[in-house]
Structure 1
């Protein structure tokens, strides 16, 4: 996912820094957003810029990521994204605004500042349409007050069935601006996975995209190691089928996702045994190992000694054993 068109902290906060012909696209994100959805929207507009290169004085689109708090926000994959603060702009500063939640979710959120920014005096109106034009009350000159707002459910690709995929909304905007031929060319450049509700073989994706998604899932495993994690859960984070996810994960890390999870757990278990006086049973629960008896069996199988013996030796016995 190439997000090179996204504005960075060193760039000007206003559209004036961009070429006048560029259409300003806003992408409103929230904490724990899905990085894949943000990336695929960015990629669609980046490709449109490439296809339109030479036909205008500058890029066709300029994309700005925004959030309620601004700065770095955390994604569901434990990767941070830098964003502009919501109030650096008004809705009228954008030619189109993409919002990473459904309209019903935004209304249920009851954040008066967010709703006032989005809808102005019309913030209580809801017509049930998930992507609609809405008037924005702002003082921006030279810009029509009606801005298209594209709402999308910010969920993993595996759960898109029955929903309109974020990339389809981006393509709708590109088609409206430059016609169906350009939109079709963008589709042809995009990988097929964002456009189909299917478990296509991971080998069809670029190596970079696959690697990013596998590492994102590994970050998610590290973040959720204390919980009961299934292969299906981790594969969903990577937006892959279970079979392809297992194959790609082992190729990237040399271990299966289950082994990776156990490595993460035992790393913390060993540290807690040495650096704390917590009972073994409590360490087991904290690290997702169930109880002390189960932890003891797995610890002996892995290290050849009990957790209490490891604690008494300060970990020296294990290190000596691993060095042999």
Structure 2
């Protein structure tokens, strides 16, 4: 008789006005991991997904959809494996001492804590910081200096991107690289293969803890100005040694890695929003719409506008082959 399979509690704590899209992507990450996890892998973690609010009952999203939740008090704080606080954009949640006490009990025992929108305000009220998967996996339990500071982005979408990346990293740690890769491809079907691969590249999965942590940190801070000297210092290496190790283990230089991540984020924003190219370029750290267009021509052989049409048509057409869609784009442009 085999050992019982351990199930990890993933709590998504919802506040009024939360983003249904952001909550849905987080929930689907762990639901997909449960479904894709190999059935013969009985000792690997799987997840109990819990949608929770302070008082339980109905919580209304920003789009007016109502989600039914459990009451926070119904769950023992020390049992939480991963915690996501999802609140309304720009609307600080009210102070609630029961909630703050629960968070303070849960935080020391929880491996992953992330917040989106107003959720970050609640963590601040409790005097707590976000936790990231890579930060708690350092050798000997040590964390890189300022390992989480770059994830404190003011944009709600940037918060959500960091939370989703952390959720995928948790799945990779708990369920293995292959499950995480499949989850990513089902969650993000519109991202071109060469950029999607950058999140869970097989070389990154095999990299040392220090270099893998550095790659993660470069990713979450990619919209800002990147200092290779600071990244090397955080990894406790000389700049020359850091550049050599990063290229050797990841396969590209840190600068090339950041460019790929920025292009990947631009692809997401083109597919998921109606923002103009100039705004997308600024929000992803690519500078201007002209530079974004030049990079898309160079790496994808199409303009950002063509890519947006391509990505949305792929979803509408049920995922038709990329080569057929490129031909259609070329035909419509001629």
* Band of TM-score, shorter chain: 0.3 to 0.5
TM-score, with length taken from structure 1: 0.43
User: Which of the two has greater helix per residue?
Assistant: 2
- Of structures 1 and 2, the larger Rg is shown by 1
